[in-house]
Amino acid sequence: MNKVLLIINCIILTIGTCGAPLIMRLYFIKGGKRIWLSCWLQTVAWPINFIPLAISYLYRRKNNNSSKLILMTPRIFMATIGIGILQGLSNYFYSYGVAKLPVSTNGLVISTQLAFIAFFAFIIVKLKLTSYSINSVFLLTIGAVVLALHSGGDRLEGETNKEYILGLIMTLASAALTGLIFPLVELIYKKAQQAITYTFVLEFQTLYCFVATVFSTIGMVINNDFQVILSIL
């Protein structure tokens, strides 16, 4: 069952990772302008986690005589809120980059997150770096830099140099934040002082996605995105 769940998660992750940038880019190519809306859609599906969480709660209550609704401690709860804010900010940077860059350019620049993950993991959780990991991160990073320097011909018509460069910077900022978030999550797991169960991970993901969605919702309210959507409907 563990292998089946792993395969299912890998398939869903692959579809999302490959399909989401294409759909987002298509939205902007067709005239979409709402970056905060694109950011909001990245985490708005967080309530779906309530289904497995409810099943897990009923199972615990039936078999372990445990009626505890939430497994997270207050300390982990507050740390997760911080992760959610960082995720919301990363999502905005990423959405801005997709709005200004072709998918190929954006995809390769965002791949530099591997370098940031390795760097922050080395500093935060003392991850040992091997020659293979350093070599792969170096090649991916160099590839992204070369593409960024020689991709002037793949800009959209009418896009200014300022917008294009800002898109590169925003995408790189998103990669850096993502590279910071993963080691921070690993650190939280290490400091949790409790069993890292499937239910605990689901609670963690649900909370930080909820916080990221609230972050994006505030941006949409400030940018009047909801009024524009309602007027279209």
Summarised one tens digit per residue, pLDDT across range 112-133 is 888 888 888 888 887 777 777 7
Instruction: Give the model's pLDDT for residue 127.
Output: 75
Domain that holds residue 119: 71-227
Q: How deeply is 40 buried, as exposed, middle or buried, from its count of CB atoms within 10 A (0-12, 13-18, 19+)?
A: buried
Using H for helix, E for strand and C for coil, what is the string for 143-197?
A: HHHHHHHCCHHHCCCCCCHHHHHHHHHHHHHHHHHHHHHHHHHHHHHHHCCCCCC
Residue 56 lies in a domain: no
Number of domain units in the chain:
1
Instruction: Give the model's pLDDT for residue 19.
Output: 83
Summarised one tens digit per residue, pLDDT across range 134-151 is 777 777 667 666 655 555
Instruction: Give the model's pLDDT for residue 126.
Output: 79
Residue 58 lies in a domain: no
Please give the model's pTM, rounded to 2 decimal places. 0.84
Residue 14 lies in a domain: no
Please give the average pLDDT of every successive group of 10 residues along the chain, which has 233 residues. 84 85 85 88 92 86 72 89 94 92 81 84 80 73 62 62 87 92 91 83 93 94 80 58
Residue 187 lies in a domain: yes
Instruction: Give the model's pLDDT for residue 92.
Output: 95
Q: Which residues contact 71 (CB under 8 A, 6 or more apart)?
A: 194, 197, 199, 200, 203
Mean pLDDT, the chain, rounded, equals 84
Residue 10 lies in a domain: no
Amino acid (one-letter) located at 86: L
What's the DSSP call for residue 101? S
Residue 57 lies in a domain: no
Residue 44 lies in a domain: no
Q: Which residues contact 47 (CB under 8 A, 6 or more apart)?
A: none
Residue 198 lies in a domain: yes
Instruction: Give the model's pLDDT for residue 82.
Output: 94
